[in-house]
Amino acid sequence: MRKTIEFANNLLPIHKFQNGTDRSVVIDFSRYNFQKQHFPKASRRDWKNWQWQIQNSITDLEMLDRILPLTPTEKTELQSLKVKLPLRITPYYAGLIANLGKNHPLRKTVIPSLNELKMSFGEAADPLHEEDDKKAPGLVHRYPDRVLVLLTDFCSANCRYCTRSRLVGQEHTVFDFDKVVSYISEHTEIRDVLLSGGDPLTLSDSKLEYYIQKIRAIEHVEMIRIGTKIPAVLPQRITPQLVNMLKKYHPLYLSIHFTHPDELTPETQAACRLLADAGIPLGSQTVLLKDVNDSAETLKKLFHELLKVRVKPYYLYQCDPISGSAHFRTSVDKGLQIMENLRGFTTGYAIPTYVIDAPGGGGKIPLQPKYQIDENADYVFLKNYEKNIYAYPKKK
Ligand code: SF4
């Protein structure tokens, strides 16, 4: 059942839930209040416009402190901080964080901290050695049959643990699309092209279509993938126009960066549904982050919420050891424990592959708890999720 009520000259939707609660009204009102308080000149139309969201993003400390008030320690720390990754948060995502409360873990994922300046053991600016596998400006060829194309260095919200913080928001990244297309055309073994960045969905529809069209025209390219965080941080970008453009280039897959179940707002859910309804297969990529999402309970909730909007949990990444990332990294043992507490306790569709993207450029290496515990001449011995032992006969 759906109805509307009048509130300060705005018609806001009310979603009546079966149990009689109006949960989304609370969310809508608090968002509305946030918007009126911090962006008083913005209309509802502005708020829903993705370009307005980008133009009005938080990019300096003064604005950050006004909108997401900093603690005295944060203020002192941040004034002296010379960050390598610029600050950027969309008004929409700032509103979400503000409504979730000042102790919510998502805050830490977008607000800079002095910890970013601390170099710890094993950290590097480019731990995955992407620069070594660069075949043209903006093109990384690491695996045999697929390439990574960095279409832009811009993201609508900058994650403080970003693997490409050496590039994102730097505005000097050189990208030569003609060379990218020539390289892919000459290498007939390339059947899969991943468009990433930065976030390709921050490009205009026409620019993005130009790139996709050129790549789709290469005969041996079988599929295109786009890596993005847009549905979580700027769901307004997922417009019917964008989706209608993307669906012309099937098979086209979208890998969406999600961090926490609280990102699955009504707006984000609607964006995922729109994409899924266009036949775009959706997968999630989640970075395991200390004190943000490093518990089986939080991740299970996230993965369940994703499946409800037809996003398949795809990868759970151990956080890459980029410079200044120690405060985000959790142990591999903890990651394995989490996986052990997921497998068997929820549907297999809700379980992503836990991987380490190997430092030095070794690519993604899957990790999983030890389920095969022993073997003899006749059997392999296996431990199930309840820790019971079973024997599987060997083929003679
Ligand atoms: S969305 Fe991805 S590329 Fe952009 S800042 Fe976050 S981690 Fe980096």
What pLDDT does residue 24 have? Answer: 44
Q: How many CA atoms lie within 13 A of 41 on its CB side?
A: 2
Catalytic residue among 16, 146, 191, 383: 146
142 catalytic per annotation: yes
* Local structure of residue 131 (DSSP, 8 states): G
319 catalytic per annotation: no
CA of 86 to the centre of ligand 1 (A): 12
42: three-class secondary structure by DSSP: coil
Q: Name the residue of 83, 90, 162 to mutate for ligand 1: max ligand atoms within 8 A of Cβ.
A: 162
What pLDDT does residue 352 have? Answer: 98
Each domain of the chain, given as residue ranges in start order, spans 2-117, 130-366
Q: Is 186 exposed, middle or buried (0-12, 13-18, 19+ CB in 10 A)?
A: exposed
143 catalytic per annotation: yes
Q: Name the residue of 89, 158, 230 to mutate for ligand 1: max ligand atoms within 8 A of Cβ.
A: 158
Whether the Cβ atoms of residue 28 and residue 12 lie closer than 8 Å to each other = yes
Give the atom of ligand 1 at the shortest distance from the alpha carbon of 164: 8
What pLDDT does residue 20 have? Answer: 43
Would you say residue 346 has pLDDT above 50?
A: yes
Mean pLDDT of 146-167: 93
**Backbone phi, psi, residue 200, to 5°:** -60, -25
Catalytic residue among 143, 253, 314, 371: 143
CA of 228 to the centre of ligand 1 (A): 8
Which residues have C-beta within 8 Å of that of residue 184, sequence separation ≥ 6?
Answer: 139, 147, 190, 193, 215, 218, 221
Would you say residue 11 has pLDDT above 90?
A: no
What pLDDT does residue 380 have? Answer: 98
- Percent of the chain residues topping a pLDDT of 70: 91
Whether the Cβ atoms of residue 330 and residue 290 lie closer than 8 Å to each other = yes
272 catalytic per annotation: no
Beta strands (DSSP E) in 180-267 are 192-196, 223-228, 252-257
- Percent of the chain residues topping a pLDDT of 90: 81
What pLDDT does residue 29 have? Answer: 63
Beta strands (DSSP E) in 145-260 are 146-150, 192-196, 223-228, 252-257
Gap between the Cα atoms of 47 and 91, Å rounded: 8
Catalytic residue among 155, 160, 161, 354: 155
Gap between the Cα atoms of 101 and 103, Å rounded: 6
Q: Computed from CA positions of residues 83, 84, 85, 91, in that sequence, does the dihedral angle turn out positive or negative?
A: positive
pLDDT digits (tens, 9 = 90+) for 15-67: 443 444 444 444 566 778 899 999 999 999 999 999 999 999 999 999 999 99
Would you say residue 165 has pLDDT above 70?
A: yes
Asked if the 130-366 domain carries CATH number 3.90.1150.10, the reply is no
Whether the Cβ atoms of residue 209 and residue 203 lie closer than 8 Å to each other = no
Provide the pLDDT confidence category of residue 76 given band limits of 50, 70 and 90: confident
357 catalytic per annotation: yes
Gap between the Cα atoms of 241 and 234, Å rounded: 16
Provide the pLDDT confidence category of residue 72 given band limits of 50, 70 and 90: confident
Give the atom of ligand 1 at the shortest distance from the alpha carbon of 161: 7
